[in-house]
Amino acid sequence: MKKVVKFGGSSLASAEQFKKVGAIISADESRVYVVPSAPGKRFPEDTKVTDMLLHVYETAKAGEDITEEMKAIKARYDEIITGLALKDFSLDKDFEEITKKLVENPQVDYAASRGEFLNGKIMAAYLGVEFIDAAEVIFFNAEGNLNSYKTEKVLSERLSKAPRAVVPGFYGLGKDGNVKTFSRGGSDVTGSIVAQASQADVYENWTDVSGFLVADPRIVPNPKPIKYITYRELRELSYMGASVLHEDAIFPVRNCGIPINIRNTNVPEDPGTWIVESTCQKQDYVVTGIAGKKDFCTIFISKAMMNSEIGFGRKVLQAFEENEISFEHMPSGIDTMTIVVHEDEFMHKEQRVVSAIHRLAKPDSVEIESGLALIAVVGRGMKSASGTAGKLFSALAKDGINIKMIDQGSSELNIIIGVRNKDFEPAIRAIYDTFIVDKKKN
Amino acid sequence: MKKVVKFGGSSLASAEQFKKVGAIISADESRVYVVPSAPGKRFPEDTKVTDMLLHVYETAKAGEDITEEMKAIKARYDEIITGLALKDFSLDKDFEEITKKLVENPQVDYAASRGEFLNGKIMAAYLGVEFIDAAEVIFFNAEGNLNSYKTEKVLSERLSKAPRAVVPGFYGLGKDGNVKTFSRGGSDVTGSIVAQASQADVYENWTDVSGFLVADPRIVPNPKPIKYITYRELRELSYMGASVLHEDAIFPVRNCGIPINIRNTNVPEDPGTWIVESTCQKQDYVVTGIAGKKDFCTIFISKAMMNSEIGFGRKVLQAFEENEISFEHMPSGIDTMTIVVHEDEFMHKEQRVVSAIHRLAKPDSVEIESGLALIAVVGRGMKSASGTAGKLFSALAKDGINIKMIDQGSSELNIIIGVRNKDFEPAIRAIYDTFIVDKKKN
């Protein structure tokens, strides 16, 4: 059993947090490779070290003195080093070198990446394991994307010689020989790459929450965590606005079937969320997650006998394509069809689209409405549980929520409904209450 | 108040039925224009006069003797004439002329139309009103379609001089000077044209049922009649397979806002069904009608990130257009899209369509499934009644019916659901029971 453990910024913001991390790692022999983030906020008003470094970069680029700013950053690390009582360890030399580089040739990616680099050094010293600079084992191609082939080759060879190691997250080496950071997903991506290269059994992603939540906590108070979620469900919830792992952080491990376990550093006894390819685990709820987005527009098109007119739908969609607008859904009735699009993409082009529809498809009428919210109710359990739709729509009706659109049938994994923007939060709460709170009735 | 009354074949199959019709007409002074069909079946094994005439045409065309066949037809009419005790009235001369024409120059439309022609003559004599040959007042253009302009002009002028009259249904005069029949809708179309030309207040269409039924009586035992239905609802139910009036029979009166009243000659006290443009009449049920069709195919297409790919939907639909296939619905999920098509149109072209989808849209996968049935639940009342969807899906779940597709949002008038062919009848019964039988729960 081999595990890669990635820790987020809040898990490594202070010596106290470092100790929790140390306890987590030493509690399980199989946690062999550690991917740390840069120190995050210690308290709400605190500044993340990465943001401090980005500010240093701006100062250096403006040709101003960075001494004081670098001192403040060093103080953050020294606080951790002192708190951990690390003997014979200092970052003095590293700070000297970083300061020198930033003054001589300020580079934004280099600056941003030093938070992870330095935190990795502390972590390696604290754990007494080898430190592997990500710039030596993770490579980008000329287009700025991960060079998976070279990275996997070099990284897996390097790890095969290091039974235990720390690899700082967030960066690697660019094609031009300079340090380069990941544009999105940050250290999550590094953890995923290390898990893949080391052929780990599990990729543990330690954060400050006990896994993903069934619904947005800003809408539903104290939503339940999700125990098991498939990649597919994750993708659907993420697409519909849930804040979960970025695609780029999932791809490397998904490709080789390594499950991801989202855990809480502050409550390590919580099992967290397992992200898996597929699972037979009994679910507590039929619904895995609820997510949604506001601000869609609908374009309602009617034309007598449209259903039997070959090419009608194609012509309508062409009007959107000509204006470079992607559409979300296209529910159709008898002689009617509705196109659902993002309001911000559509608004400034609406009249051009309407006239294109008239020119291409010659409809009887076209009507536009804004302020639609889409909600996806996602769950692999919905496939087998009959009555999900009935329960869902009864719940919304009970709360007086008018359903503007229903789209189901393309995937047995979700039902997508449209409601007015103002009904968005009440609808999510009603769905949550029905499927999660009133579980007995399920 | 002016009414046009059309009577179907079973309403005029015998002297006894004629008497019922006579009583209906004399019961209401405003029933001034009568449009009769040809005599229909008197009992289940009977032959319709029109079918007898079509057989005569075949015989005549083959150069064989039609004397005996014509005698049998004459016997049908004589039975009516005798039963009605019409004095100084005979169809002898008409039969001579028809026989002569059929022998000399057999024409199928002419032969088929004589049933209405002769029945109209009897009706006029029985009511003591003028007979107007439809060939003098209803005209077709060179393409074989109704010449509305000329027909309205000639017919309205003619009717303005006839305070009461009989105009036989089903035929008019072709551009070539020969009698021509309506291809579809038969006498219903004539009644509608007469109602329009006479600017009638009501078009009464007398049949052997007390109006349209909420559901197909072959599926639901003794379904309730529909009291009020809008043209739009009628169109939706008709499109989804309900046997109601043909479009061509509705168009003339719809265009000038004349309501249609479907009545039962055998139960004239029943109010029947009113077909109207719009109505405020209180409805007994939220659902106006339920109709559906079997044998659809679904083409399930998945592709990562398809939603944000501009033009993806258009490309998919183009694959169907290239193969001249119209599609019914297109429910979409996240990274998935399903196209619903008629099985008979799609079956023999499936591989060509699939390869066109691959060529044009480059999807990750395409899967085909057959045996889908579509059901439309139609009702103007659904717009305001919340909870319809919940009730609908709960009813289906209770009966263990798996919902393969839901499409709602393009029209507030209907919800379209997809179920397996085998669940078609049970689903319709479940929906009927929920919305019509369990009305108290509504």
Lowest mean pLDDT segment, chosen from A167-176, A370-379, A395-404: A395-404
In the structure, what pLDDT confidence band is assigned to residue B439 with cuts at 50, 70 and 90? low
CA distance B231 to chain A (A): 12
In the structure, what pLDDT confidence band is assigned to residue B182 with cuts at 50, 70 and 90? very high
Contact A334 B414 (CB under 8 A): yes
Contact B409 A404 (CB under 8 A): yes
Nearest residue in chain A measured CA to CA from B233: A334
B251 is in an annotated binding site: no
CA distance A386 to chain B (A): 5
Lowest mean pLDDT segment, chosen from A185-189, A241-245, A301-305: A241-245
In the structure, what pLDDT confidence band is assigned to residue A424 with cuts at 50, 70 and 90? very high
A241 is in an annotated binding site: no
Which residues in chain A have Cβ-Cβ distances shorter than 8 Å to B331? 329, 331, 407-410
A49-52, long-range: CB within 8 Å, 24+ apart, which pairs? A49/A9, A49/A73, A49/A76, A49/A115, A49/A119, A50/A9, A50/A112, A50/A115, A52/A76
Most A CBs within 10 A among B235, B290, B410, hence the mutation to make, goes to B410
Q: If residue B336 lies in a helix (H) or strand (E), which one and from where to where?
A: strand B336-342
Contact A397 B390 (CB under 8 A): yes
**What mean pLDDT comes out for the span A342-358?**
93
Q: Which is higher by pLDDT, A260 or A408?
A: A260
Q: For residue A111, is pLDDT > 50?
A: yes
| B202 vs B253: CA distance, rounded Å | 9
Would you state the pLDDT for residue B441? 46
Would you state the pLDDT for residue A384? 67
Lowest mean pLDDT segment, chosen from B181-190, B308-317, B420-429: B181-190
Which ranges in A161-269 belong to alpha helices (H)? Answer: 187-197, 231-239, 247-255
Nearest residue in chain B measured CA to CA from A322: B311
Q: What is the mean pLDDT of chain B?
A: 91
Q: For residue A437, is pLDDT > 90?
A: no
**What mean pLDDT comes out for the span A33-38?**
96
Q: For residue B47, is pLDDT > 80?
A: yes
In the structure, what pLDDT confidence band is assigned to residue A441 with cuts at 50, 70 and 90? very low
Would you state the pLDDT for residue B185? 61
Q: Which is higher by pLDDT, A412 or A195?
A: A195
Q: Which tokens go with A179?
A: 């340090």
Q: Which is higher by pLDDT, B206 or A409?
A: B206
Sign for the CA dihedral angle at B119, B121, B124, B127 comes to negative
**What mean pLDDT comes out for the span A156-169?**
96
Would you state the pLDDT for residue A442? 43
Contact A314 B314 (CB under 8 A): yes
Lowest mean pLDDT segment, chosen from A78-87, A399-408, B408-417: B408-417
Contacts across the A-B interface (CB distance below 8 Å): 189
A116 is in an annotated binding site: yes
Contact A376 B334 (CB under 8 A): yes
Q: Are strands B405-408 and B414-420 parallel, antiparallel or unpaired?
A: antiparallel
**What mean pLDDT comes out for the span A266-290?**
89
Q: Exposed/middle/buried for B63, CB within 10 Å: 0-12, 13-18, 19+?
A: exposed
Would you state the pLDDT for residue A406? 87
Would you state the pLDDT for residue A220? 95
Q: What is the mean pLDDT of chain A?
A: 91
The alpha carbon of A39 is separated from its chain's Cα centroid by a whole number of angstroms, namely 19
Alpha carbons within 13 angstroms on the beta-carbon side of residue A398 total 13
| B306 vs A240: CA distance, rounded Å | 14
The alpha carbon of B36 is separated from its chain's Cα centroid by a whole number of angstroms, namely 17
Candidates A309, A332, A393; nearest CB to B329: A332
Would you state the pLDDT for residue A132? 98
Which residues in chain B have Cβ-Cβ distances shorter than 8 Å to A401? 386
Most B CBs within 10 A among A322, A408, A423, hence the mutation to make, goes to A408
Candidates A311, A328, A386; nearest CB to B402: A386
| A396 vs A292: CA distance, rounded Å | 15
Question: For residue range A65-93, what is the model confidence (pLDDT) as tens digits?
Answer: 999 999 999 999 999 999 999 989 999 99
Would you give the end-to-end CA distance of chain B in angstroms?
A: 38
Would you state the pLDDT for residue A440? 47
Question: For residue range B185-225, what is the model confidence (pLDDT) as tens digits?
Answer: 689 999 999 999 999 999 999 998 888 999 999 999 999 99
* Highest mean pLDDT (candidates A307-311, B325-329, B390-394): B325-329
Contact B406 A395 (CB under 8 A): no
Q: Which tokens go with B1?
A: 């108040």
In the structure, what pLDDT confidence band is assigned to residue B389 with cuts at 50, 70 and 90? confident
Q: If residue B5 lies in a helix (H) or strand (E), which one and from where to where?
A: strand B3-7
Which residues in chain A have Cβ-Cβ distances shorter than 8 Å to B321? 310-311, 314
State the ipTM, two decimals: 0.75
- Beta-carbon contacts of A386 under 8 Å, excluding residues fewer than 6 positions away, are B397, B400, B401, B402
Angle formed at CA A314 by CA B407 and CA A411, multiple of 5 degrees:
35
Angle formed at CA A398 by CA A394 and CA A400, multiple of 5 degrees:
115
B218 is in an annotated binding site: yes
**What mean pLDDT comes out for the span B171-197?**
91
Question: For residue range A220-236, what is the model confidence (pLDDT) as tens digits?
Answer: 999 999 999 998 888 88
| B38 vs B51: CA distance, rounded Å | 10
| A370 vs B316: CA distance, rounded Å | 27
**What mean pLDDT comes out for the span A146-162?**
95
Contact A307 B239 (CB under 8 A): yes
Would you state the pLDDT for residue B324? 93
Amino acid at B148: S
Contact B410 A300 (CB under 8 A): yes
Lowest mean pLDDT segment, chosen from A95-104, B109-118, B166-175, B273-282: B273-282
Tokens 């109709």 appear where? B291
B6 is in an annotated binding site: yes
% chain B with pLDDT above 90: 73
Would you state the pLDDT for residue B442? 43
Burial A85-113 (b: 16+ CB within 10 A, else e): eeeeeebeeebeebbebbbeebbebbbbb
% chain B with pLDDT above 70: 98
A7 is in an annotated binding site: yes
Structural domains of chain A, ranges and CATH numbers in brackets: 3-208 (3.40.1160.10), 289-441 (3.30.2130.10)
3-state SS, residue B180: strand
Which residues in chain B have Cβ-Cβ distances shorter than 8 Å to A231? none
Would you state the pLDDT for residue B204? 96
3-state SS, residue B403: coil
Would you state the pLDDT for residue B440? 47
- Beta-carbon contacts of B105 under 8 Å, excluding residues fewer than 6 positions away, are none
Query: Which of A206, A155, A167 lies closest to A28 in space, CA to CA?
Result: A206
- Beta-carbon contacts of B321 under 8 Å, excluding residues fewer than 6 positions away, are A310, A311, A314
Would you state the pLDDT for residue B31? 97
- Cα–Cα distance list, B186 to A4, A239, B372 (Å): 78, 54, 33
Candidates A235, A308, A389; nearest CB to B326: A308
Q: Which tokens go with A210?
A: 């006990």
Question: For residue range B227-281, what is the model confidence (pLDDT) as tens digits?
Answer: 999 988 888 888 888 877 777 888 888 888 899 999 999 999 999 999 998 888 7
Contact A321 B311 (CB under 8 A): yes
| A146 vs A153: CA distance, rounded Å | 13
